[in-house]
Chains A and B, each alone.
Chain A
Amino acid sequence: MLWVEHVARIRDDQDTQAFAELFAHFAPRVKGFLIKSGADASLAEECAQDVMATLWHKSHQFDPARASVATWIFTIARNRRIDLIRRQRRPEPEDLTWGPEEEPDQEDVLTLQQETEILGAALAELPDAQRELIEKAYFGDLTHSEIAAETGLPLGTIKSRIRLALDRLRHAMK
């Protein structure tokens, strides 16, 4: 199963080989994500290393029934960005009352894996104009108005393109 085994090997056996493979895929992406969000190359490097170290330290908190490894790393990187680059707190919702010690149900893990694959395929198949705006919204740390200023597109066009993109993704997930 994509990357989930790697995280389990890091958690259970402190497996540096598994970590190196995860690192080779995700660290350059996290660094690129941070550079696109306005960090300079050296801050982005430092921050990417920090995000990957956090993954190791928090590997026991990862719940493959609730998120893919890519999603989990994305949320760690996003929170680090808010913390380091914007110097703000990011309030998180109240924890749900299930305990992290429970073994996730294998069926839930499989379902989430399948949903992730469908979502990934649907995102890859979006028309370029829609996909680009979704990427900008996630990477650029931009509001819709700021995207409008950057692309020169009217705000209404941006909003409707993003809405169309989300409709397509939701349709694919049905």
Chain B
Amino acid sequence: MTETIKHHLNDAILMAYAAGSLPEAFNLMVASHLSLCDSCRAQAESFDALGGEVLDQMRNDEVADLQPESLEATLALILGGPVDKPHVAETNVCAVLPKPLRDYVGGDLEAIRWKPVGMGVKQAILPTSKDASARLLFIPAGTAMPDHGHHGTEMTMVLKGAFQDEDDYFARGDVEIADSDMHHTPVADIHEDCICLAVADAPLQFDRLIPKIAQRFLRI
């Protein structure tokens, strides 16, 4: 199912995900993409492995001395704590949203609480930490998103349908990574309504006046 993905995450984002330095909204994007993309999942595991080696090879002056009774305290913690039961992976889930997104939405597509943004476009903002934002977007088939530029980094992943911008075609699992010098006009594919996950570390700036005013209210 994953061979069709053409637009992947890059090293910088995968490494930051492994290091744990991304804002929550970006972690949600990466976890959602990895759920759909085996090759990026393998890359992400390599970056975890690199983290393991960095930890293992810490120099003596970086290693911290423990409290004198540290081991005993830990063994006491172990006796007090519950042993985790092996958890069985969910199988046969036939969902459009990958598991990390279902956890935020509280279910699959039917659980999304859409708010209209105009021109048939709808969005649902997901609750993440304030340093970045995550939202689901619904774009009717053949509809253009308002032309917008970017302040910071924005990533958009298709979950259903497809969209096209000046350069490329994006289908389920594909991620478009845009930065501040990029101006583009994505258009949803004519055959099907498009649902995307979009994350940004700064608010989008719309070129037209009305969306610009609306931006303040809609937290786009």
Interface residues of A (CB under 8 A from B): 16, 19-20, 23-24, 26-33, 35-36, 41, 44-45, 48-50, 52-53, 56-58, 60-61, 66-68, 70-75, 77-79, 81-82, 86, 88-101, 115-116, 119-120, 123-124, 134-135, 137-139, 141-144, 159, 162-163, 166, 169, 173
Contacts and interface: CB of A to CB of B under 8 A. Distances in A.
Contact of B24 (A32, A90, A100, A101): A90
B66 A27 contact: yes
A95 B98 CA distance: 10
Contacts of A58: 84
Contact of A120 (B32, B53, B81): B53
B71 to A, nearest CB: 5
Q: Which of B44, B52, B83 has the most CB of A within 10 A?
A: B52
A74 B62 contact: no
A76 to B, nearest CB: 11
B74 A49 contact: yes
Interface stretch (B87-95, B115-123, B165-173, B204-212): B87-95
Q: Size range of the interface on B?
A: 35 or more
B54 A138 contact: yes
A111 B65 CA distance: 34
Contact of A50 (B48, B77, B87, B89): B77
Contacts of B74: 23, 27, 49, 52-53
A71 B86 contact: no
Interface string B176-200: 0000000000000000000000000
Contacts of A19: 75, 78
Contacts of B45: 66-67
B20 interface: yes
Contacts of B82: 57
A90 B91 CA distance: 22
Contacts of B147: none
